[in-house]
Amino acid sequence: MLAQFLQFLFSGVTVGATYALAALGFTLVYNASHVINFAQGEFIMLGGMLTVFFLASGLPMPLAVALAILIPAAVGVLLERFAIEPAKNADVVALIIITIGASLVIRGVVQIWLGKGTHTLPPFSGDTPIDLFGATLRPQMLWVLGVTAAVVASLWYFFSRTLAGKSILATSYNPLAARLVGIDTSWVLFVSYALAGALGAIGGILITPITLTSYDAGIMIGLKGFVAAVVGGLGSGLGAVVGGLFVGIVEAMAAGYLSSAYKDAVPFVLILLILFFRPRGLFGGKLTERV
């Protein structure tokens, strides 16, 4: 009983960590520019696929990983400069459609370049399972959790203890006021999109040894990351992390105890229920609209 429960919990927390990283990416971009970036999932896919590609072309692991994080970060910046910035005054629907277009372009390019095959990465430190109260914990799961925790901790430090981080927060509250006190808001956009790309890629690299990757792997994880961000209340960093873990755990439990065929539907049922009863997410504030 306990062993089974723990097993589901471990796998839930592991995928949940990836959702949390994706949700943080959504949150960063949303705070900086009030855009929901539907291409966030493609950063996750890029992280995994690029690492596979660079390893296969003979680069050492650390270099392959570094490139697979830097390139999606650069893609994020390009997306902001050439697609979001020119349409700054467009409405929500238009911005959503632009990012959906971007995700199709990224996915299509990877499909043409690297093919439709499914790939995997070797686990970072062997695959000897660790036994814990009868449940098995794979070393890669510890990597996912450890790196995610480290990333979340450094983001927390960045946003609450450094001037640069605080200027990003200030911009998300009020861009005009931020500009008036001398904050370079276009730098803020640059950093936010780059970070969103990097966070997605890190998640993608970490999870690939467990879940495999392919050119279309980003769609589902990305959408679930969006669910996680909404569960936590769009725009809240803490909410994104908690939302990610929550969605991951509920999904794993439902898959284990109810039906594995509908595993992928779980986050969406969850989000519909939450939105119907708490339209601003679990951690979202009250809605006030200014006319």
Is 240 among the residues that bind other proteins (CB under 8 A)?
no
Q: Which of 24, 65, 98, 191 binds other proteins (CB under 8 A)?
A: 98
What sign for the dihedral angle of Cα 275, 286, 19, 60? positive
Q: Other CB atoms closer than 10 Å to residue 51's CB: what's the count? A: 26
- Name the H helices within 57-161: 61-79, 92-114, 139-161
Q: Other CB atoms closer than 10 Å to residue 100's CB: what's the count? A: 14
Quote the tokens at residue 186.
């276009």
The residue (of 197 and 267) whose beta carbon lies closer to other proteins is 267
Q: Which of 97, 132, 149, 150 binds other proteins (CB under 8 A)?
A: 97
Cβ atoms 199, 24 nearer than 8 A: yes
How far is residue 132's CA from residue 144's CA, in Å, rounded to a whole number?
17
For residues 101 to 130, the per-residue mask of contacts with other proteins, x marking binding by CB under 8 A and - elsewhere, is: xxxxxxxxx-xx------------------
Residue 135, beta-bridge partner list: 132
Element (H, E) at 137: strand 135-137
For residue 84, give the nearest of 107, 102, 66 by alpha carbon: 102
DSSP annotation of 135 reads E
Q: Which of 125, 132, 269, 285 binds other proteins (CB under 8 A)?
A: 269
Among positions 26-65, residues that touch other proteins (CB under 8 A) are 30, 36
What sign for the dihedral angle of Cα 175, 178, 182, 184? negative
Distances (CA, A) of 244 to 30, 63, 86, 92: 16, 28, 31, 24
- The distance of closest approach from Cβ of residue 90 to other proteins in the complex, given in angstroms and rounded to an integer, is 5
Is 182 among the residues that bind other proteins (CB under 8 A)?
no
Q: Which of 3, 61, 78, 87 binds other proteins (CB under 8 A)?
A: 87
The residue (of 91 and 131) whose beta carbon lies closer to other proteins is 91
Is 279 among the residues that bind other proteins (CB under 8 A)?
yes
Q: Is 180 helix (H, G, I), strand (E, B) or coil?
A: helix
Is 78 among the residues that bind other proteins (CB under 8 A)?
no
Which one-letter amino acid corresponds to residue 49? M
Instruction: Identify the burial level of 160 via C-beta atoms within 10 angstroms of its C-beta, where 0-12 means exposed, 13-18 middle and 19 or more buried.
Output: exposed
Is 282 among the residues that bind other proteins (CB under 8 A)?
no
The residue (of 161 and 286) whose beta carbon lies closer to other proteins is 286
Greatest CA separation for the chain: 60
Is 173 among the residues that bind other proteins (CB under 8 A)?
no
The residue (of 133 and 262) whose beta carbon lies closer to other proteins is 262
The residue (of 48 and 281) whose beta carbon lies closer to other proteins is 281
- The distance of closest approach from Cβ of residue 103 to other proteins in the complex, given in angstroms and rounded to an integer, is 7
* Region near other proteins per CB under 8 A, out of 65-73, 165-173, 242-250, 262-270: 262-270
Is 142 among the residues that bind other proteins (CB under 8 A)?
no
- The distance of closest approach from Cβ of residue 78 to other proteins in the complex, given in angstroms and rounded to an integer, is 12
Name the site residues for other proteins (rule: CB under 8 A): 30, 36, 83, 86-87, 90, 92-98, 100-109, 111-112, 219, 223, 226-227, 230, 234, 261-262, 264-265, 268-269, 271-272, 275-276, 279-280, 289, 291
